[in-house]
Amino acid sequence: MSSIKEYYLENEESRYIRLAEILGISWQELQGLDYEINARVSKDGNLYSHNLTFSQENDSYVVKKIKGLSEDWNVEIAPWELERNEEDEYELGAIARNTDYRLSFINELQDLNGLLGLDVTDNNLHRILLRQIFISIIGAVETYLSDAFINEVLSKQYYLERFVATHPEFKKQKISLSEIFYESLKIEEKAKTIMLGTIYHKLPTVRQMYQDTFGITFPPIADMQKYIVKRHDLVHRNGKTADGVKIDIDIDTIDKLKRSAIGLVDQVSIEINNLSDEDKPF
């Protein structure tokens, strides 16, 4: 067994299961096969793909079930395909089903308003409740921004092309002319992985993605950004700033956050709704 195979499969069972899913067979069937994995690397050291070579001594009935199998029993797998796990695939499915991004956002805020109406007499529990509502509102904004972006990019080829043309992750990769056709077959899968891996509360990055991909005017982010900084301290610093100052969240703060969140989402929604097939961003 090669070192690559050991790294990707033996040390991480989830990758083993993921590989079986990519190949279209069960992981039990994969375990019964004899094969080698080798990395396909460019002169610059960029990993292009994993090449699986299956022994001719394997059960042909099982091997011929494998997706993408060549005549000489080889399969090429892009590295980002192995990076995506079951949770990623589930998230992609959930995003694809959420076609009314703004309505989903508003529904989430209404649910959180219901929590605000709870009669919590314990001051400490009430403080924790307000803190969680604050965090959840920002989470709702993140969900809107991710679902809207990913759905729009995957729904129209020219937005996908623009995303690939402008995103730094693609810009930094160098390929030779002989690799162009092969790489073009894998671009959409890599784009999905990059979009899923984006942290959508990093508003400067998200703003740039929206502007570069759709050619729209993204709303001002300064007001929302200050709440995201608070959210970071609530989640990662146990409710204290870097200087050790305790952050208090009250109903007035939550109301202001909701207004800021709704304002940002509404402006992005208007820009997206104004897009049409004729409004190509390039």
For the chain, give the mean pLDDT: 83
**Tokens representing residue 142 in the block:** 């993140």
DSSP lists the bridge partners of residue 49 as 40
Q: The pTM is what? A: 0.69
Q: How confident is the model at residue 84 (pLDDT cuts 50, 70, 90)?
A: low
**Contact 77/67 with Cβ under 8 angstroms?**
no
The domain locations on the chain are 3-83, 86-273
Rounded to whole angstroms, the Cα distance separating 102 from 198 reads 20
Closest of 186, 201, 223, 212 to residue 81, by C-alpha = 186
Asked if residue 16 lies in contact with residue 9, where contact means CB atoms within 8 angstroms, the answer is yes
pLDDT digits (tens, 9 = 90+) for 130-177: 999 999 999 999 999 999 999 999 889 999 999 999 988 777 666 666
Nearest CA to 162 among 173, 147, 177, 152?
Answer: 152
Q: What is the DSSP letter of 179?
A: G
Residues above pLDDT 70, as percent of the chain: 77
Q: Which residues contact 196 (CB under 8 A, 6 or more apart)?
A: 84, 88, 91, 92, 150
